[in-house]
Amino acid sequence: MNMKTSCLGCEIANGIVEVNVVYENEYISCVLDIAPFNEGHMIILPKEHFHDVDEITPEVLSAIMNASVRMTKLLKQTFQPDGITICQNGGIFNDLNHYHMHVIPRYADDGFTWSEPLTDHGAGLRLKETRQRLIDEMTL
C-alpha cells in the first residue's frame, strides 16, 4: 500500500487518527464527516494515496463505488432521507488533498444548495461543438 507521509487523508483512511469508522475493507474506509451537512454524512477514502479520481486503480475504484451503494442503502434504512447526494471534488477543489467521496443524506428543507455558476462563458451555446471536441479527443 502506498501511503503518503503527512497526508491527513491517508491517516484517516488507515486509522492513524481517531475517526468514526462506519465501514472499511482492505481498500477503503467510510468515516463520518467531522463537519456534516446532515446526520450520517460520511466520506469514503481509499487507504492508498490518490489525489484525483483518474489516478485510482480499477480495484480501488470498484471498492469506492461498491461502498457508495452500500452506504447509500444504510443511510436510507437508518435516516429515511428524501434523497442522497454523492460527490467528490478534484484538483484545487480537493481540500483534503486525498481523494474522498461524500455520501450525504438529504432532506427537502435542509438548506443544502448547489450553487450555479454566475456565467457559463457561453458553454451552453456551444454544446454540439463541445460534444464533437470531446469525441475527437477521446482515447479510451
Residue 7 pLDDT more than 90?
yes
Q: Which pLDDT band holds residue 112 (cuts at 50, 70, 90)?
A: confident
Distance CA 61, CA 88 (A): 13
For residue 140, give the C-alpha cell: 479510451
pLDDT one-digit tens code per residue, 26-71: 999 999 999 999 999 999 999 999 999 999 999 999 999 999 999 9
Hey, what domains does the chain have and what are their CATH numbers?
Answer: 8-114 (3.30.428.10)
Distance CA 66, CA 122 (A): 37
